[in-house]
Amino acid sequence: MQSRYFDAYKGWQQNPEEFWRAAAKEIHWFKQPARIFDRDQGVYGRWFPDGETNTCYNCLDRHVEAGRGGQRAFIYDSVMTGTQKSFTYDDVLVEVQAIAAVLRKHGVAKGDRVIIYMPMVPEAVFSMLACARLGAVHSVVFGGFAAQELAARLEDSKAKVIISASCGLEPGRVVAYKPLLDQAIDMAKTKPDYCLILQRDQLHAPLRYEHGDRDFADAVEMEKVSGTEVPCVAVKATDPLYILYTSGTTGQPKGVVRDNGGHMVALRWSMENIYGLKPEDVFWTASDIGWVVGHSYIVYGPLLAGNTSVIFEGKPVGTPDAGTFWRVINDHRVKVLFTAPTAFRAIRREDPEGDFIARFDTSSLTALFLAGERADTETLKWAEQKLRIPVIDHWWQTETGWPMAANTMGLGLMPTKHGSPTRPMPGYAIDVLDDAGHPVPSGTLGNIVVKLPLPPGCLVSFWQADERFRDACLAEFPGYYKTADAGLVDDEGYVFVIARTDDVINCAGHRLSTGAMEEVCAMHPDVAECAVIGVSDALKGQVPCGFVVLKHNVARDHALIKKEVVGLIRNEIGPVAAFKTVMVVDRLPKTRSGKILRGTMQKIADGMPWKMPATIDDPAILDEITSILKANGYARSAAA
């Protein structure tokens, strides 16, 4: 049976406003939008400009009012503390109203900004919803970010209140948050009026009452005892729901702004039509609320659709082993899992035969979705073989907030092509242009762009920086949003995202994709994961350099493995790739969300000045990479 995707996409193409008008009927509006899109508002137009609504009401109150308050909204599963706890929609509403009452008592009102700097605990999610209830704008900062990063976000957002915790938990260590928070406040010119601190059992943080510190749990409990009710504040569909900063170690941080109305409409549509979920289904997004994936698909998407969402505090391996994911699926009867490819590469490296899978009942799982990094073919195939369910690579960004291209569980699956996130979703008209802005033939590598206007749910601008948004995302290709991804669209309309545009190297006049080379490296049976970067070369301009992490228990000679990897590239891509250098490393430097820090590796290799990335998971890995590069004749002038 043919997927209903084609009818949906055609319907959107023929009448975009009617398509989104129909989707908007799944959302509760205090004031129904008469206009669906106004191209004269905002940077490129605004969706549902005269509608009024509230995101928290749509996530919680309407489900409770419909008699579904007893259904589970969240399952908290912390490997780090050995805790499992469920919260019904009734429970969450009580918690959120109490936090909203605390915030209101501390002067937070519609439009005010609140920074949330917390680990993966339920209180962090409840705080996001409490801000939404008040019409306040939350900005979640990944727990444990360096003080200067937090200070930059505080300075840019002018947050009135910060909600934080005493610590976060990582395998083998406790990360103290309060000293980082104090340093950030001391550094920033803009000071919050108050800081609400959740004290965790693993570390108690001294409070600076003279600086506005308050105990989070005590304040919330007082409001619960008093039974304070906080009604949802009506906001315009175009009012901001949150700011999510994507970078900013130098200069002004880049705060992606998401609105209330379009955000809800797009996420609600995606839960049913892309992920194939019905109310009460258990959806687990193994990510963190500090990233866009956590915003969209741990918190807002599942609640808008009436699902049960898993809040997971742990890692795919090492907490305690490579069977953690299967244990969570077994315990909570997870229907759909969404995570990053790097998680599955880590699991595959630790358990290449998939022995842990057989120890648990994973029969509830109907699909695995991957995004956030390129999903290499070998990892996809491994997951398909071991799980025997659809494994769906889909593509989106912090800026878009929901998938640009995907295979659709809800509308019916289309044939899979490994290496492709399948076809564009309704709302996204995707083209491929050359550097001069001209369309390229199908199958030709180029710049992937999205025709304006962007659909509901995408960023509306950067926080108080419209011109910066125009310059960064819209100016290079007029009439389009620049994704900064390079790739192609084949003659069947399948999108192939090959690399970031800055990962396309110029080797002796040939444009080569390092991502394509990584695909080939990953084909080697001993390779668990890999990275390819372009390094400077006096003769060719740039040449590729490969790093491979081997699967556990590989005892073969490393020199032979490296020779075989070089041979694979020569056979699959050709001598034009000039691929001659392969280094075996124990691990690759990554962000906490699992993205490989190729840009930093390239700067080290070329001997250029570089700065420690704010999002790095373990800074010590860069010392290891630097040593290996130096041993191979690179990084002679690198300066951290």
**Greater pLDDT, 495 or 504:** 495
DSSP assignment letter at 209:
G
Between CA 26 and CA 264 the distance in angstroms is 9
Helix 341-350 with 377-387: angle, nearest 10 deg: 70
Helix 122-134 crosses helix 89-105 at what angle (to 10 degrees)? 60
- Specify the number of domains making up the chain: 1
For the cut 50, the answer to whether the pLDDT of residue 250 exceeds it is no
For residue 326 the two structure tokens come to 């299967």
Share of residues in the chain with pLDDT > 90 (%): 82
Domain range enclosing 581: 504-631
Q: For residues 406 and 412, give the distance between their C-alpha atoms in angstroms, rounded to a whole number.
A: 11
Alpha-carbon gap, residue 110 to 131, rounded angstroms:
9
Residues in a beta bridge with 532: 546
Is pLDDT of 510 > 80?
no
Whether the CB-CB separation of 524 and 568 falls below 8 Å is answered with: yes
The two tokens of residue 159 are: 């947050």
pLDDT tens digits, one per residue of 38-64 = 999 999 999 999 999 999 999 999 999
Closest CA to 449 of 460, 461, 459, 438: 438
Buried b / exposed e along 455-493 (16+ C-beta atoms within 10 A): bbbbbbbbbebeebbeeebbeebeebbbbbbbbbbeeeb
Residues 6+ apart with CB under 8 A from 444: 432, 488
How far is it, in rounded angstroms, from Cα 386 to Cα 488?
30
Token pair 């504040």 is found at 233
Nearest-5° Cα angle at 336, 404 to 122: 95
What's the average model confidence in pLDDT over 336-365? 95
DSSP assignment string, 407-452: --TTT-PPPP-TT---EEPTT--EEEE-TTS-B--TT--EEEEEES
Q: Taking the model in full, what pTM does it have?
A: 0.87
Judge whether 259 lies within some domain: no
The CA distance from 604 to 597, in Å, is: 11
Give the pLDDT band of residue 541 (cuts 50, 70, 90). confident
> Could you tell me the two tokens for 349?
């490296």
- Residue 294 in any domain: the answer is no
- What's phi and psi for 445, nearest 5 deg? -70, 135
Residue 216 has pLDDT above 70, yes or no: yes
pLDDT confidence tier of residue 639, bands split at 50, 70 and 90: very low
Is residue 614 a part of any domain in this protein? yes
Q: Tell whether the model's pLDDT for residue 258 goes beyond 90.
A: yes
Query: Has residue 489 got a pLDDT over 60?
Result: yes
If you average pLDDT over residues 329-357, what whole number do you get? 95
User: Above 90 in pLDDT, residue 492?
Assistant: yes
By CB neighbour count within 10 A (0-12 exposed, 13-18 middle, 19+ buried), where does 82 fall?
exposed
In a domain, 535, yes or no: yes
CATH code where residue 573 lies: 3.30.300.30
Is residue 564 scored above 80 in pLDDT? Answer: yes
Residue 593 to residue 247: CA distance in whole angstroms: 14
Q: What is the pLDDT of residues 405-427, one digit of tens each?
A: 999 999 999 999 999 999 999 99
Top mean-pLDDT range of 24-33, 366-375, 505-514, 599-608: 24-33
More reliable by pLDDT, 448 or 640: 448
Tokens of 327: 């244990």
d(CA 505, CA 496): 18
From 31, 401, 457, 469, select the one nearest 259 (Cα to Cα): 457
Residue 508: pLDDT band with limits 50, 70, 90: low
pLDDT per residue over 195-210, tens digit each?
999 999 999 999 998 8
For residues 423 and 430, is the Cβ–Cβ distance under 8 A? Answer: no
Q: Is the pLDDT of residue 469 over 50?
A: yes
The mean pLDDT of 593-618, rounded to a whole number, is: 87
Assigned domain for 562 exists = yes
Please say whether the beta carbons of 318 and 171 come within 8 A: yes
212 domain residue, yes or no: no
Its sign, for the CA torsion 480, 484, 487, 493, is: negative
Q: For position 566, what pLDDT does the model report?
A: 93
Mean pLDDT, to the nearest integer, of 85-111? 98
620 C-beta neighbours (distance < 10 Å), count: 10
Query: Token pair for residue 379?
Result: 């990892």
Asked whether 268 and 121 are in contact (CB, 8 A), the reply is no
For residue 78, report the phi and psi dihedrals to the nearest 5 degrees.
-110, 105
Q: Is the pLDDT of residue 571 over 80?
A: yes
Q: Length of the chain, please?
A: 640
Higher pLDDT, 326 or 537: 326
Interacting residues of 414 by C-beta distance below 8 A, sequence separation 6+ = 3, 5, 407, 408, 422, 423
* Straight-line distance from the first to the last Cα atom of the chain, in angstroms, rounded to the nearest whole number: 57
pLDDT at 638 over 60: no
Tokens of 428: 């996204």
Q: Which backbone phi and psi does 87 adopt, to 5 degrees?
A: -125, 125
- Nearest in space to 16 (alpha carbons), one of 425, 550, 616, 622: 425
Q: Is residue 227 included in any domain, yes or no? A: no
